[in-house]
Amino acid sequence: MEERRRRVSTGSPWEPIVGYSRAIRVGSVIEVAGTTAMQDGEVVGKGDAYLQTKHILGIVERSLQELGGSLADVVRTRMFVTDMTKWEEIGRAHGEAFRDVRPVSTMVEVKALIDPELLVEIEAQAIVDDRRKE
């Protein structure tokens, strides 16, 4: 039996051009695409890795909620950072969101993101146990 695919879009002009969704749920699995601190075409928290991470995690949380999940359902995050010396700021924001959840997580330094003012990009995977929510 084929699982129904549910998608979330943030309305980014790039989603239809590049051909991606912010998040997709198939069965109990939700995958959230690499998410940056962009809002209305502008970088949020320029120069501040902590604020960018907080903004990103807010987008991730809203995407999960739209598909019936929450941050508590996250089992994995991947963080791509342009300056590893900012790891503590990024880690603090991540820890505030996931302190009790403690998903597996990866942080890697990358040469650049799509906009030079972006310092962080985060992907997330969640597994929703609908029985737990009944």
The Cα–Cα gap between 67 and 54 comes to 20
Residue 134 resides in a domain: no
* Other CB atoms within 10 A of residue 42 CB: 10
pLDDT tens figures, 109-122: 999 999 999 999 99
**pLDDT tens for each residue of 30-52:** 999 999 999 888 999 999 999 99
Residue pLDDT, tens place only, 9-26 = 888 787 888 899 999 999
Residue by residue, DSSP assigns the chain as: -PPPEEEE----THIIIII--SEEEETTEEEEEEE-SEETTEESSTT-HHHHHHHHHHHHHHHHHHTT--GGGEEEEEEEES-GGGHHHHHHHHHHHHTTT--EEEEEE-S--SSTT--EEEEEEEE--GGGG-
Task: Supply the CATH number for residue 100's domain.
Answer: 3.30.1330.40
pLDDT in tens, 79-104: 999 999 999 999 999 999 999 999 99
In contact, 82 and 112? CB cutoff 8 Å = yes
Residues above pLDDT 90, as percent of the chain: 79
131 or 65, greater pLDDT? 65
Reading the block at residue 53, the tokens are: 């991470």
| Domains in the chain, number | 1
Instruction: Identify whether 133 is part of a domain.
Output: no
Q: How far apart are CA 91 and CA 86, in angstroms?
A: 9
pLDDT at 10: 81
- Give the pLDDT of residue 9: 87
Show the domain range for 15.
5-128
Q: Could you give the percent of the chain with pLDDT greater than 70?
A: 94
- Of the candidates 34, 36, 38, 8, the one whose C-alpha atom is nearest the C-alpha of residue 23 is 8
Q: Assess contact for 30 and 24: CB atoms under 8 A.
A: yes
In a domain, 61, yes or no: yes
